[in-house]
Amino acid sequence: MKARRALQALLLCGVVVACLLAPTWAHAADLTVWHAYRGAEEAALREAVDRFAEGRGHRVRLVSVSFGVYDSKLETAIPRGNGPDLFIAAQGNLGKWRRMGLLVPAGDVSGEHRDPAIEALTEGGELWGQPLAFKSLMLIYDPEVIDTPPRTTDELLALSAALTEDGRYGLVYEAGTPFYHAPWMHGFGGAAIDEMGEPTLDTRAQVDALTFAAELAALMPTAPSADRVSSLYTEGRAAMIIDGPWRVADLGRRVAAAPLPLVSPTGEPARPYLTVEAAFVAARGQDPEAAAELASFLSGVDGAQIRQEVGRQAVTASRVVPSDPILQVQLDQAARSEPLPTDPEVQSAWEGLARALRQVLRGTVLPDRAMAAAQQHATVLRRPPPPPANPWPYGIVLALLALAGLGALGYRLRDPDLRRRMLVHAPDYLWIAPAGLAMVVLVVVPFLTGAAVALFAHHQGEWSFVGLAHFIDILLARDWPITSPMSFGFTLVVTVLWTVSNVTLHVVIGVALAMLLREPWVGLRGVWRALLILPWAVPNYITALIWRSLFDAQVGAINAILGLLLLRGEALQIDWFSSFATGFAANLTTNTWLGFPFMMVVTLGALQSIPRDLEEAAEVDGAGAWQRFRHVTWPMLMPALLPAMILGSVWTFNMFNVIYLVSAGEPDGSTEILISEAYRWAFSRGNRYGYAAAYAVLIFLVLLFYSRLANRLAGRKVL
């Protein structure tokens, strides 16, 4: 009895303690923070979050999200309540996120942070994020080569020319990228868009800025990438680069920094885009108050000190004194920068500007004509979606089709023989039911969903039903001339040419190698077969990246080998992606390398079933090697090769990785195929998911027609 009473007393005490601690437990919520940091910045964030959690009893979970999918994941997860409580990002998508209702206002923190940070994060009279750090371009130079950095663009040009010789360069930067071109654009008085969001690319200031960029590019390597810029500086072959603080840690040698120079013709500073990273409280989070408290800590003096010392960030907190000269330069540059636009329409202007930059830097178009074309391109891209359509006619047609299908099924079920066969095979249907269910879930439902999306327009987070408007716009080329690389007809022709060329080379090379490897006089046939199948065994995206580097204009092995053969050791300087012919050839070479082993393996297998006696008999009758192959071997190979050719053509028709990773559609989208063009519309041109889905449906219809034609040609069902 005493033990029972003691147990009851203990349980009562436990209940009392639980009631007293309940508010504390409720406050010790789990907070989820999304970020895209790496290296020192990620370590700094983790240290700051740990210090916050220790002092306040919160449990914080950091989730690292890949930068490439960061925005799309946020925009998908937050509206459904599956997103983070707090996320760290730059302000570039602030306008879109605010309109989509993804953010909670941050309150007033003016006076605690430097003015450019407050300005960049304020929209509609409200602050939408707690400022964390500045990031912008600046002039990074080698202090062992340059004592005093250039103060004007005239000095920059002169110094760059003086230091450029024998494979060394005075200045290197990613001249073909709008973000890196922005300092000159703003310094000459231009802007990507005006206050109304309209593109302003065909102004005199834009032409002057592009002309100046071409003068600088003439002293640099052809189309230098970010990695190439870093490697040139690290190797001591570049005295100056234009880049941001994120690049300093990767350079591997001494650096000094200075703000970008004044633009000599205007006397204005070269103003790069200013990126302000901030902590945003997500709407529909589990604990907005705790998330706001964490954001305030990260943005405040204590959190900023950690991020500056550990993460080497140029923090926005006004009371934190920079501890490094480069961080001080970054703060000075922030005061002479242009906040990154938050209007989603700026993406259209950037794509047009990028096309103009590539054309002028390649020397194919004059600056004024390039900017006029860029203005037209951006204007078309920012056109509003088609007007909403009445969904009722579509619903009625869909209902009638469903009734017609049910009627046809009911009519067939009237046949007693069919019903009897169905009853006899009822157990068989149960066996295939799991596979059928998997096909419905994994194939039919996604296809029907995609087809339904094609009937809707997506614009800045909002959807509207537009019916068949996307299909009409695509097929009639309403936005682009039929001869434009942006039109469906042009891209379809390129896709067919791409498919036919690849399959032809795959078959020719694959059959030739198979015929060679079956000959008994070839030694080490097993080794050769294993080696020749390797291109097919390696993941195609890895192979595509390797071939992309081989075709690099500066350090690619292709140019070096051609130089050895044609110029006696002096490397050629061919920009493989400056024309359609060479860009298409680069893609074709890559995919031929990927595809011939499949045809070779199929042919080797088929050759095992062909008796050599037939060929020997033909040889005795006087048939030559080509006649024996044409009249004996090839007809017997066709039953095995034809299905492989048809399947290979379908794979090649949708070979996205090679196009995206090798040529990236260059020049000016002319080497895009249908599947890569659909991707561009979905993720690079304002997230026009409905338009991209219409492209995908048209691709399906083209392949459906091809499969029916292929089955007819083959005389049996192949696809």
Lowest mean pLDDT among 23-37, 147-161, 286-300, 432-446: 23-37
Positive or negative, the CA dihedral 328, 94, 47, 25 is positive
Q: Where would I find the beta strands (DSSP E) of 309-349?
A: 314-315, 338-339
Q: Are residues 561 and 636 in the same domain?
A: yes
Q: Are residues 130 and 145 in the same domain?
A: no
Report the C-alpha gap between 169 and 166 in whole angstroms: 8
pLDDT digits (tens, 9 = 90+) for 592-637: 999 999 999 998 888 888 887 777 787 777 777 788 888 778 888 8
What pLDDT was estimated at residue 562?
Answer: 83
Report the C-alpha gap between 715 and 678 in whole angstroms: 33
Confidence check: pLDDT of 558 > 80: yes
Confidence label for 169 from pLDDT (cuts 50, 70 and 90): very high
Q: Are residues 161 and 307 in the same domain?
A: no
CATH code, domain carrying 592: 1.10.3720.10
Q: Residues, the chain, total?
A: 719
pLDDT digits (tens, 9 = 90+) for 687-717: 788 999 999 999 999 988 888 887 777 666 6
If you average pLDDT over residues 37-54, what whole number do you get? 91
What pLDDT was estimated at residue 301?
Answer: 92
Confidence check: pLDDT of 11 > 70: no
What pLDDT was estimated at residue 568?
Answer: 66
What pLDDT was estimated at residue 305?
Answer: 93
Q: Both tokens of residue 587?
A: 């893609």
Q: Are residues 552 and 680 in the same domain?
A: yes
If you average pLDDT over residues 274-298, what whole number do you get? 91
Percent of the chain with pLDDT over 70: 94
Q: Which helix (H) or strand (E) holds 330?
A: helix 325-334
Percent of the chain with pLDDT over 90: 44
Q: Are residues 682 and 546 in the same domain?
A: yes
User: Residue 55 domain-assigned?
Assistant: yes
What pLDDT was estimated at residue 181?
Answer: 95
Burial status of residue 554 (CB atoms within 10 A of its CB: 0-12, 13-18, 19 or more): middle
What pLDDT was estimated at residue 21?
Answer: 40
Amino acid at 688: R
Lowest mean pLDDT among 53-67, 160-174, 316-330: 53-67
SS3 152: strand
Q: Where would I find the beta strands (DSSP E) of 311-469?
A: 314-315, 338-339, 456-459, 462-465
Q: Are residues 49 and 72 in the same domain?
A: yes
Euclidean distance between the first and final Cα of the chain, in Å? 81
pLDDT digits (tens, 9 = 90+) for 420-439: 888 888 888 888 889 889 99
Report the C-alpha gap between 682 and 581 in whole angstroms: 27
SS3 130: strand
What pLDDT was estimated at residue 17?
Answer: 40
Domain boundary among 331, 354, 381: 381
Confidence label for 12 from pLDDT (cuts 50, 70 and 90): very low
Q: Where would I find the beta strands (DSSP E) of 28-147?
A: 30-35, 59-64, 86-90, 103-104, 122-123, 126-127, 130-135, 138-141
Q: What are the backbone angles phi and psi of residue 609, rounded to the nearest 5°?
A: -95, 0
CATH code, domain carrying 37: 3.40.190.10
Sorted by sequence, the CB contacts under 8 Å of residue 151 that are 6+ apart come out as 261, 262
What pLDDT was estimated at residue 508?
Answer: 92
Strand 256-258's sheet: what is its strand order?
A: 169-172, 238-243, 138-141, 256-258
pLDDT digits (tens, 9 = 90+) for 94-147: 988 988 889 999 887 777 899 999 999 998 889 999 999 999 999 999 999 999
User: Residue 425 domain-assigned?
Assistant: no
What pLDDT was estimated at residue 26?
Answer: 38
If you average pLDDT over residues 476-484, what whole number do you get? 83
Cα–Cα distances (Å) from 490 to 243, 481, 696, in that order, read: 37, 9, 16
What pLDDT was estimated at residue 27?
Answer: 42
What pLDDT was estimated at residue 385?
Answer: 86
Confidence check: pLDDT of 404 > 80: yes
Confidence check: pLDDT of 1 > 80: no
Confidence label for 395 from pLDDT (cuts 50, 70 and 90): confident
Per residue in 24-61, is it b (16+ CB within 10 Å) or e — as a string?
eeeeebebbbbbbbeeebbebbbbbbeebbeeeebebe
Q: Are residues 258 and 364 in the same domain?
A: yes
User: Residue 4 domain-assigned?
Assistant: no
Q: Tell me the average pLDDT of the chain.
A: 86
Report the C-alpha gap between 580 and 593 in whole angstroms: 20
The total of other beta-carbon atoms located within 10 Å of residue 478's CB is 13
Q: What is the pTM of this model?
A: 0.83
Confidence check: pLDDT of 14 > 80: no
What pLDDT was estimated at residue 2?
Answer: 43
Q: Are residues 213 and 239 in the same domain?
A: yes
Report the C-alpha gap between 617 and 607 in whole angstroms: 17
Q: Which helix (H) or strand (E) holds 695?
A: helix 689-714
- Rounded CA Rg of the chain: 32
Confidence check: pLDDT of 211 > 90: yes
Q: Which helix (H) or strand (E) holds 255?
A: none
User: Residue 167 domain-assigned?
Assistant: yes
Q: Which helix (H) or strand (E) holds 172?
A: strand 169-172
In sequence order, what are the beta bridge partners of 315? Answer: 133
Q: Which helix (H) or strand (E) holds 258?
A: strand 256-258
What pLDDT was estimated at residue 364?
Answer: 85
Report the C-alpha gap between 440 and 430 in whole angstroms: 15
Q: Are residues 119 and 50 in the same domain?
A: yes
Report the C-alpha gap between 123 and 276 in whole angstroms: 14
**Count of domains observed in the chain:** 3
Confidence check: pLDDT of 168 > 70: yes
Q: Are residues 710 and 562 in the same domain?
A: yes
Domain residue limits at 315:
28-135+276-323
User: Residue 614 domain-assigned?
Assistant: yes
Q: Are residues 354 and 493 in the same domain?
A: no
Task: Determine contact, residues 332/321, Cβ cutoff 8 Å.
Answer: no
In sequence order, what are the beta bridge partners of 168? Answer: 165
User: Residue 390 domain-assigned?
Assistant: no
Confidence check: pLDDT of 25 > 50: no
What pLDDT was estimated at residue 588?
Answer: 95
What pLDDT was estimated at residue 716?
Answer: 63
User: Residue 476 domain-assigned?
Assistant: no
User: Residue 313 domain-assigned?
Assistant: yes
pLDDT digits (tens, 9 = 90+) for 568-595: 666 677 888 888 999 999 999 999 999 9
SS3 440: helix
Q: Is the model more confident about 320 or about 522?
A: 320
Q: Are residues 145 and 128 in the same domain?
A: no
